[in-house]
Chains A and B, each alone.
Chain A
Amino acid sequence: SQTIHQWPATLVQPVGSPLSLECTVEGTSNPNLYWYRQAAGRGLQLLFYSIGIGQISSEVPQNLSASRPQDRQFILSSKKLLLSDSGFYLCAWSRDRVHEQYFGPGTRLTVT
């Protein structure tokens, strides 16, 4: 069966510090991978998606970036965090663009 991991679960970082969130998927190959952000009381905002190694599409211009160094690894990064980057970050995978997504446990980021 497939599982998706995210870490860390919670993170408190000062403004201006770098960020690296990691997501890995087990039990499948060549998944579509997604990063979402959810602000308090809001829906999910798609940040990045990837259909393969090194292939990243950005949905929203911002100071975040994503990379996919391996087939089942997706990393969300920032060089300098802003207060507005606080939120709940969710990674998800799907077999392709026409199938449902499965979400990881999420990382709650607080930028102080």
Chain B
Amino acid sequence: EDKVVQSPLSLVVHEGDTVTLNCSYEVTNFRSLLWYKQEKKAPTFLFMLTSSGIEKKSGRLSSILDKKELSSILNITATQTGDSAIYLCAVEEDMRFGAGTRLTVKP
């Protein structure tokens, strides 16, 4: 059965720390991997990764895909309390989501 596994499931850091979130997948027909941030309600889109080794970057967030290792990482540098959220990864073509990583950033 296709699956998407995220780690860690939860993480508590202090402001200014750098965090790395992991997403590994086993799917039959990989097309792309997506990262979302979910604060209170609706997840919001962060990145879509289709090619291995190409980093996507947005401010303090960046992500990269490793097709050989069937995984992706999401990095957040200089974390802020506003980064506290659940970070979800999903793999197309089935839009299968991982369980998410709950990140808590303490002041």
Q: Which residues of A are at the interface with B, using a C-beta cutoff of 8 A?
A: 34, 36, 41-46, 49, 59, 88, 90, 97-106
Interface residues on B, range: 20 to 34
**Complex interface bits, B4-34 against A, C-beta within 8 A gives 1, otherwise 0:** 1010000000000000000000000001101
A-B contact pairs, 18 of them (CB 8 A): A42-B99, A42-B100, A43-B88, A43-B97, A43-B99, A43-B100, A44-B88, A44-B90, A46-B94, A46-B96, A49-B95, A59-B94, A97-B92, A98-B92, A98-B93, A100-B34, A103-B43, A105-B42
Q: Which residues of B are at the interface with A, using a C-beta cutoff of 8 A?
A: 4, 6, 31-32, 34, 41-45, 48, 88, 90, 92-100, 102
Q: Inter-chain contact count A-B, CB under 8 Å?
A: 49
- The residue that B42 contacts in the complex, of A45, A49, A104, with Cβ under 8 A, is A104
The reply to whether B42 and A103 form a contact with Cβ atoms under 8 Å apart is yes
Residues of A near B42 (CB, < 8 A) are 90, 103-106
How far apart are A26's CB and chain B's nearest CB, in angstroms?
A: 15
The reply to whether B41 and A102 form a contact with Cβ atoms under 8 Å apart is no
Residues of A near B43 (CB, < 8 A) are 44, 90, 103
In the bound complex, CA of A103 to CA of B44 (Å): 7
